[in-house]
């Protein structure tokens, strides 16, 4: 056992060797995050103190996947590509003795972009990075609203609102990285600045009254964030170097 112990120790230490060599020219990185949320809620509560009953059903689903790939073309300097995919589906149904209201929202987005990153090493496993990038994103969404009024002889109210848009965004961020193992690091954002421009095409259809309108518009935004969202995949991102 005494002869085996040093071998085990050396093997363990080699696995834990911190990975500043991973930031040398020619190495590659694979990282990103994924989020999936599913929430359902239903409640029955008195609508008033006499006899009416209020029923509320809610379903919320969200999925996002944001991988990226990069290569160090010289020590501590990386160029890479990134992908962002997201889907959302929200459904809300309200019911009482007078009517039923149903609202559903669906959206999808897919974006591709590139980034340039510069690492600043502090010690063997810890440091700072600066990153700038540009993304092109395609959005589609649909919102559908219906209302059934029990004593309305004119029938249900039904509206559909749809949107398609294209967005160009530029961002810059500052973050910290820490090597857990020789080829695996964890990172977090400290500060992010972003600017975006979106062109929208939208249409609205009132099915009950047979009305249809369409239009377009432009939206420009600028943001300054310490952390995008307080979720694990946004605060901490895992990266694999090879």
Residue-wise pLDDT for 30-52, tens only, equals 888 778 888 877 666 555 544 45
Residue ranges of domains in the chain: 4-241
- How much is the pTM? 0.71
- A 10 A CB-CB count for 9 gives 10
| Helix, strand, coil shares, percent, the chain, to 5 | 10, 70, 20
Q: Which CATH class is domain 4-241?
A: mainly beta
Distance between CA atoms of 124 and 14, rounded to whole angstroms?
A: 14
d(CA 78, CA 115): 8
Each residue's pLDDT tens digit, 101-127: 788 889 999 999 999 999 998 887 888
First to last CA, the chain: 34
- CA-nearest of 68, 67, 77 to 24 is 77
**Coil, strand or helix at 230:** coil
Q: What is the pLDDT of residue 130?
A: 94
């Amino acid at each position: 056992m005494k002869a085996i112990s040093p071998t085990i120790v050396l093997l363990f230490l080699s696995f834990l060797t911190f990975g500043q060599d991973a930031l040398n020219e020619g190495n590659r990185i694979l990282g990103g995050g994924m989020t999936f949320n599913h929430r359902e809620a239903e409640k029955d509560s008195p609508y008033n103190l006499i006899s009416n009953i209020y029923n509320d059903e809610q379903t919320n689903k969200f999925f996002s996947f944001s991988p990226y790939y990069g290569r160090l073309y010289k020590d501590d300097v990386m160029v890479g590509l990134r992908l962002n995919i997201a889907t959302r589906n929200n459904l809300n149904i309200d019911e009482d003795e007078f009517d039923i209201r149903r609202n559903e929202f669906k959206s999808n987005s897919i974006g591709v972009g590139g980034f340039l990153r510069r690492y600043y090493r502090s010690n063997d496993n810890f440091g700072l990075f600066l990153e700038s990038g540009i993304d092109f994103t395609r959005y589609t969404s649909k919102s559908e609203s219906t209302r059934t009024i029990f004593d309305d002889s004119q029938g249900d109210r039904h509206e559909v609102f749809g949107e398609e848009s294209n967005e160009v965004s530029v961002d810059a961020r500052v973050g910290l990285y820490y090597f857990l193992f020789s080829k695996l690091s964890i990172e977090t954002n400290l500060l992010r600045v972003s600017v975006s421009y979106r062109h929208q095409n939208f249409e609205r259809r009132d099915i009950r009254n047979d009305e249809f309108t369409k239009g377009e518009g432009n939206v420009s935004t600028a943001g300054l964030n310490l952390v995008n969202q307080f979720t694990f995949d946004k605060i901490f991102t895992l990266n694999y170097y090879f």
